[in-house]
Chain A
Amino acid sequence: MPLPSQTSQPHLAPGCRWGSHAEPQVVLFPEGMIRVQGTGHDILTLCDGQRTVQEIVATLVGRYGAADPVKITEDVCSFLEALQRKRIVDY
């Protein structure tokens, strides 16, 4: 599976969802869960299947101020690709 492109619209894969009120930082999936915190949490909560990677990066750049958009795009794409391999994200 290639890296996501600028126009990909990432979202949680089927069967993956955020935990309930008690565990809002956890993504649940069949037979397991991962805790997503910090930047990863910021990225993943923006992955609603509507926003494109470009829009997600723009939102993050706005949020973090002076950060380099090229670097952020790289980070976002490799993060999403790693989760895609685990069948947690699709794009």
Chain B
Amino acid sequence: MIPNPLALIAEVTHRCPLHCVYCSNPLRLVATDAELSTEEWVRVFREASRLGVLHLHLTGGEPAARADLKDLIAGGRQAGLYTNLITSGLGLSESRLGGLVEAGLDHIQLSFQDSRDKPAKWIAGANGHAYKIALARKIRQLPVAFTVNLVVHRQNLDHIDEMIEFIEQLQPQRMELAHTQYYGWALKNRDTLLPTPQQLENCLRAVEKAQLRLSGKVRIDSVVPDYYARYPKACMGGWGRRLVLIDPSGQALPCHAAGVIPDMRFDNIREHPMEWIWRESAAFQRFRGEQWMPEPCKSCDRRTEDFGGCRCQALLLTGDASATDPVCSLSPNHHLIETVRSAAESDVAQASWSYRTNMG
């Protein structure tokens, strides 16, 4: 029996005014003229809700790049979904923001690149820091839940305390200190982004201290980065178990990065109903359950907790998408992670980034 999905990640566009060096979008982006229409998205939201989905995450690219964002939010909310907007804030004027909340937006997650203007610009390859700060104040005046997200890595972890205080002043209900995940653009820039063990330890201590201090005021979510964990994460809550991602052109993926796995065939929401995709699509079945598992996963007690870890990471690091996630200390390929980790302890030359590109 396949459980119903709980969340729909709707990548409504790959257009974005920023060029973040750790962008989670695929290296090959979907062009604007291939994007789903408003009506197609709203149909997807209704089908998702009927299938049991509770949360809708509108993301991108920058979802505000879509002129119909308000209609998408209204469509999600009318379908009965808890509607979350994941945004850089760029493209959201005060009046537009008010309209989105009126349309039924439940939660807004505003992303920052740093607490300081100059490094924020350096990471994003664009201006926007001051605008985001001004926007945060406006969000606080609206009846909508507010999370601030900040991606942390080697280049900013030395001022983690300052970043936590910076977020606190923006007065969100929740802060997310997200360690960079090494797929797509971030993998290209991994040597410059992966923190040192010392930085990571300081970060854990800073987060713990802040959690105590802000208890009941601001909830802080922060997960240990993969490369420093003993066991892999249950990526996406397990392949095809909790989440569906629809990309701008309507392709249904089990996760953000699944497109990197060779021989995967993704079905399109333009051709199949959501329920068929969830139950029948080959891409969702490929690593569902335990049949595909190699040793040491197959006989491991943790297989029902982490489901063998991340398939995309296994592919990117070992060349085999069916391998145990090398992040796992039990993986025969774990030395790959150890090598990268020990390289992180030595100094790296100053960053020369691969900035995320945009389509014309």
Q: Does B55 contact A (CB under 8 A)?
A: yes
Q: Does A67 contact B (CB under 8 A)?
A: no
User: Chain A residues with Cβ under 8 A from B221's Cβ?
Assistant: 31
Interface residues of B in 26-78 (CB under 8 A from A): 49, 52, 54-55
Complex contact A19–B54 (CB within 8 A) = yes
A31 to B107, CA, bound (A): 10
Complex contact A86–B54 (CB within 8 A) = no
Stretch in A21-29, A37-45, A52-60, A69-77 with 4+ CB within 8 Å of B: A21-29
User: Chain B residues with Cβ under 8 A from A19's Cβ?
Assistant: 54, 80, 82
Stretch in B88-96, B111-119, B139-147, B274-282 with 4+ CB within 8 Å of A: B139-147
Complex contact B145–A26 (CB within 8 A) = no
Pick from A19, A31, A85, A87 the residue with the most CB of B within 10 Å: A31
- Chain A residue nearest to B80 (CB atoms) is A20
Q: Are A30 and B216 also in contact (CB < 8 A) when A14-B145, A14-B173, A17-B106 are?
A: no
A13 to B219, CA, bound (A): 12
Complex contact A85–B82 (CB within 8 A) = no
Q: Are A87 and B173 also in contact (CB < 8 A) when A14-B144, A30-B147 are?
A: yes
A28 to B49, CA, bound (A): 14
Q: Does B215 contact A (CB under 8 A)?
A: yes
Q: Does B132 contact A (CB under 8 A)?
A: no
User: Chain A residues with Cβ under 8 A from B54's Cβ?
Assistant: 19, 23, 26, 28, 33
User: Chain B residues with Cβ under 8 A from A86's Cβ?
Assistant: 219
A33 to B84, CA, bound (A): 13
Query: In the complex, which range does the number of interface residues on chain B fall in?
Result: 20 to 34
Complex contact B80–A16 (CB within 8 A) = no
A15 to B107, CA, bound (A): 6
User: Chain B residues with Cβ under 8 A from A33's Cβ?
Assistant: 6, 54-55, 82
User: Chain B residues with Cβ under 8 A from A84's Cβ?
Assistant: 216
A21 to B6, CA, bound (A): 16
Contact of B109 among A1, A23, A30 (CB under 8 A): A30
A23 to B4, CA, bound (A): 13
Q: Does B174 contact A (CB under 8 A)?
A: yes
- Chain B residue nearest to A13 (CB atoms) is B173
Query: In the complex, which range does the number of interface residues on chain A fall in?
Result: 20 to 34
A23 to B79, CA, bound (A): 13
From residue B82, how far is it (CB to closest CB) to chain A in Å?
Answer: 4
User: Chain A residues with Cβ under 8 A from B52's Cβ?
Assistant: 22
Complex contact A1–B216 (CB within 8 A) = yes
Complex contact B216–A16 (CB within 8 A) = no
- Chain B residue nearest to A87 (CB atoms) is B219
Interface residues of B in 102-132 (CB under 8 A from A): 106-107, 109
A26 to B6, CA, bound (A): 12
User: Chain A residues with Cβ under 8 A from B145's Cβ?
Assistant: 13-16, 29-30
Complex contact B144–A15 (CB within 8 A) = yes
Q: Are A85 and B173 also in contact (CB < 8 A) when A26-B54, A30-B145 are?
A: no
- Chain A residue nearest to B107 (CB atoms) is A30
User: Chain B residues with Cβ under 8 A from A17's Cβ?
Assistant: 82, 106
A83 to B358, CA, bound (A): 43
- Chain B residue nearest to A86 (CB atoms) is B219
Complex contact B80–A22 (CB within 8 A) = yes
From residue A30, how far is it (CB to closest CB) to chain B in Å?
Answer: 4
Query: A interface vs B, CB < 8 Å?
Result: 1, 13-17, 19-23, 26, 28-31, 33, 84-87
A-B contact pairs, 27 of them (CB 8 A): A1-B215, A13-B173, A14-B143, A14-B144, A14-B145, A14-B173, A15-B146, A15-B173, A17-B82, A17-B106, A19-B54, A19-B82, A20-B80, A21-B80, A22-B52, A23-B54, A26-B54, A28-B106, A29-B145, A30-B109, A30-B145, A30-B147, A33-B54, A33-B55, A85-B215, A87-B173, A87-B216
Given A22-B49, A28-B55, A29-B82: 12 more A-B contacts, CB < 8 Å: A1-B215, A14-B143, A14-B144, A14-B146, A15-B107, A15-B173, A30-B106, A30-B145, A30-B147, A31-B221, A85-B215, A87-B174
